[in-house]
Chain A
Amino acid sequence: MKFPYSEIVLEHFRHPRNVGRIEDPDGKAMEGSPACGDMVAVYIKVDPKTNCITDIKFESYGCASNIATGSIITELAKGKTLDEAKKITWKEAADALGGLPPIKVHCSVLAVEGLRAAIRNYEERHGLVKEKEPTTVEEVRRRLRRVMNPLTGLDLIRTNLVRDIEVKDGTVRVVVALPAGHQFAPAIREEILEKVETLWDVEQVLVEFTE
């Protein structure tokens, strides 16, 4: 049999590590991609003295690359400090898996986001969030890098789908270069809202389509 996945990916797919949930987690997050439908939940336990991740579990409603990345990311993060774990990139996870097909980026990046979101959740709950800064176009752009363009598996910024970003008086306006009737338009809108709405000083997010 010949699969588009590496042996390591298949091994993690067949026998995912650290699967399940932690009943009383110190931090948790559920990241979903409405566009492709995949979802990942990440739960962490943190030692408050060392800020180390002592336990981590994940759940996946997704395809093979989603499951395998969830599995590897928990292995990579376990025992690391929050600051170290935060810096784990999709590339590192993909490399540890012996590579992933490019079209599968958006399914696998969710696990990396899930880990970061779980850490953020811990930091927020424990008052560790650094100073609040007003939202800028740059910050919005940075967040949109995590919204996938399902047509290519790459993010909206990289694929030049974002025509314009405006930040003014608590309102963020994002113009997407897609027809409003496109199959993925509602999904992309939802994902943009999800990523941008949580910014502390944003009251309203407007997603507009060009056609």
Chain B
Amino acid sequence: MFGEIVYLDNAASTRLDERVLEAMQPYFFDVYAVATSEFGYSPGIEAKEALERSREALAGSLGASPDEFIFSSGSTESSNMALKGVAMALGEKRGKHLIVSKIEDFPVLHSAKALEKQGFQVTYLDVDGDGFVNLEQLQNSITDDTILVSIQYANQEIGTIQSIEAIGQICRARGVLFHTDATHSFTRLSLDVRRVPVDLITISAHTIHGPKGIGGLYIRKGTLINKWMDGGFQEFNLRAGLENIPGAVGFAKAVELVTPEENERLRVMRDRLIDRVLADIPDTTLNGHRQKRLPQNANITFHFVEGESITLHLDMRGFAVSTGSACFSRSLEASHVILGIGGDHERAHGSVRFTFGRYNNMEDVDSLVEVIADVVNELRAISPLSEATK
């Protein structure tokens, strides 16, 4: 909570858990040395050990070995590195074609666009009304020139969970690398690289009550990828830069604190919100699949009203949520995700995303439902559209 505000935008950012801060603190004040080799001075060795312990924990949470995981500044960097690093490594040798879904988050989508400008071809896969990629279309889109498929594990706005195991199998069978942006699903859904044939995974700490500015990229052993940041030899010589050790320690702690019970608690809140809103407020549409969605995500369109008006009213009454309305975004573009699932501008216009986190509870849900019903009624009362349809 932000003072009085019930914060329901946990997909964008989360409140840091005190226990994470506590774990990080020694690496700001005591062990602040650069990570050195085992031949360095003792604070440096201690720093190095903390970094490697964190790496081990994070890699382990994905079923990977520590040398398959590098730290980055967050999921934007990880996805940039996955797409551009692979493109640079394989573009000349293997081919210049990539495949992504239309509803990827901006780091993947805009990296793909940037590569297009450099002579790569990109196929943007359609999704169905719930946001699922069509596996047949994926099959048919892979050519001899395809080097990488990048499809998210779960969607940032509507929460839809892709069948990444099946997608990975298709890619594996065709000898194409598979990257998945798991920013919003990490620790909320299970992902084990020993079972799922995925070659690159983007994750971040900011969605799970960890610190901002730290993320990571899983890179399966043997995957060809170019060095991303030039400088020193850090991160297996793939990403130069002074290691963010407090961040890495905090990230590992944040992962440790997520439990199956918490995920279940989020799911129950999500279901209660969806069920009550759809039942209590007429002319509402759930965006995304009812079951196959992130446990912490609900996204609902309130027809005949506009999302920014809803969020502003909710803010004034103590709730922070976000919307896919064009009016809300800095670019004034409607959500590409809602448009991608076949929605029109009207559906995006009144869409509101609610994302739950550790510091929300069932009372928040119940009071939210009441407040949002009021807000939507008030706005509908002044809307020229609602009358016309009655």
Q: Enumerate chain A interface residues (CB-CB to B < 8 A).
A: 1, 3, 10, 13-14, 16, 19-21, 30, 34-41, 59-64, 66-67, 103-104, 106-107, 150-151, 153, 183-184, 187
Give A30 Cβ to nearest chain B Cβ, in Å. 6
Q: How far is the CB of A60 from chain B (nearest CB, A)?
A: 6
Cα–Cα, bound, A41→B385 (Å): 10
Whether B327 and A63, one on each chain, are in contact in the complex, defined by CB atoms closer than 8 angstroms, is: yes
Instruction: Check if B312 sits within 8 Å of A13, measured CB to CB.
Output: yes
Contact yes or no, A151 B382, CB < 8 A: no
Chain B: which residue is nearest A21 at the CB level? B387
B345 adjacent to A67 (CB under 8 Å):
no
A59 partner, pick from B331, B336, B348, B384, beta carbons under 8 A: B384
- The docked-state distance in angstroms from the alpha carbon of A62 to that of B308 is 8
- Taking A61-B305, A62-B309, A150-B332 as contacts, is the C-beta distance between A30 and B384 under 8 angstroms? yes
Name which residue of chain A comes closest to B5, CB basis.
A1
Q: How far is the CA of A41 from the CA of B382 in the complex (A)?
A: 10
Q: How far is the CA of A74 from the CA of B306 in the complex (A)?
A: 21
Q: Are the CB atoms of A19 and B382 closer together than 8 Å?
A: yes
Q: Which of A30, A34, A63, A104 contacts B345 (CB 8 A)?
A: A34
Whether A39 contacts B345 by the Cβ 8 Å rule is no
Count B-side interface residues using an 8 Å CB cutoff: 30
> Contacts A21-B387, A61-B383, A150-B332 hold; do A36 and B327 have CB atoms under 8 A apart?
yes
B366 located at the interface, meaning its Cβ lies under 8 Å from any Cβ of chain A in the complex: no
The answer to the question of B346 belonging to the interface, with a C-beta cut-off of 8 Å to chain A, is yes
| Binary contact track B304-338/A, C-beta < 8 Å → 1, others 0 | 11111100100110000000011110111110100
Choose one: A16, A37, A59, A151; the contact of B306 (CB below 8 Å).
Answer: A37
A20 touches which of B305, B333, B382 (Cβ 8 Å): B382
Distance, CA A36 to CA B315, complexed state (A)? 22
Q: Which residue of A lies closest to B328 (CB)?
A: A63
Which 9 residue pairs of A and B lie closest in terms of their CB atoms, listed nearest first?
A63-B327, A59-B384, A63-B308, A41-B384, A37-B349, A61-B383, A19-B382, A37-B345, A36-B326
Do B382 and A60 touch across chains, with their CB atoms under 8 A apart?
yes
* A60 near B332: Cβ-Cβ < 8 Å: no
Q: Are A3's CB and B383's CB within 8 A?
A: no
- Complex CA gap A183/B326 in Å reads 12
**Cross-chain pairs A/B with CB under 8 angstroms, 26 sampled:** A3-B312, A30-B384, A35-B345, A36-B332, A36-B345, A37-B306, A37-B325, A37-B327, A37-B334, A37-B349, A59-B384, A62-B327, A63-B325, A63-B328, A64-B312, A66-B306, A67-B309, A103-B330, A107-B327, A150-B326, A150-B333, A151-B332, A153-B332, A183-B334, A184-B333, A187-B345
A38 near B306 with CB under 8 A, answer yes
Bound complex: CA of A3 vs CA of B309, how far in Å? 13
A64-B332 in contact given A37-B325, A39-B384 (Cβ < 8 Å): no
For A19, the chain B residues whose CB sits under 8 A away are 381-382
CA distance A60 to B383 in the complex (A): 5
Check B383 against A59 for contact (C-beta < 8 Å): yes
A35 to B345 CA separation, bound complex (whole angstroms):
8
Q: How far is the CB of B176 from chain A (nearest CB, A)?
A: 27
Measured between beta carbons, the chain A residues less than 8 angstroms from B334 are 37, 183
Give the distance to chain B from A201, nearest Cβ to Cβ, in Å. 30
| A95 nearest CB across to chain B (Å) | 22
CA distance A38 to B349 in the complex (A): 8
Q: Return the chain B residue nearest A71 by Cβ.
A: B382
List B contacts of A1 (CB < 8 A).
Answer: 315-316
How far, in Å, is B350 (CB) from chain A's closest CB?
Answer: 9
Output the least CB separation between A43 and chain B (Å): 10
CB contacts under 8 Å to A, within B180-205, are none
Separation of A167 and B339 alpha carbons in the complex (Å): 35
Cα-based distance from A21 to B385 in the complex (angstroms): 12
Q: Which residues of B contact A35 (CB under 8 A)?
A: 326, 345
Q: Which residues of B contact A37 (CB under 8 A)?
A: 306, 325-327, 334, 345-346, 348-349
The one of A16, A30, A104, A153 in contact with B382, judged by C-beta atoms closer than 8 angstroms, is: A16
Of B306, B315, B336, B387, the contact of A62 (CB 8 Å cutoff): B306
Minimum CB–CB distance for B104 against chain A, Å: 16
Interface residues of B in 370-390 (CB under 8 A from A): 381-385, 387
| Alpha-carbon gap, A20 to B306, bound state (A) | 17
CB distance from B286 to the nearest CB of A (A): 20
CB distance from A148 to the nearest CB of B (A): 9
B284 → A minimal CB distance (Å): 16
> How far, in whole Å, are A106 and B381 apart by their CA atoms in the complex?
23
Contact, CB under 8 Å: A183 / B333: yes
Q: Which of B185-243 contact A (CB under 8 A)?
A: none
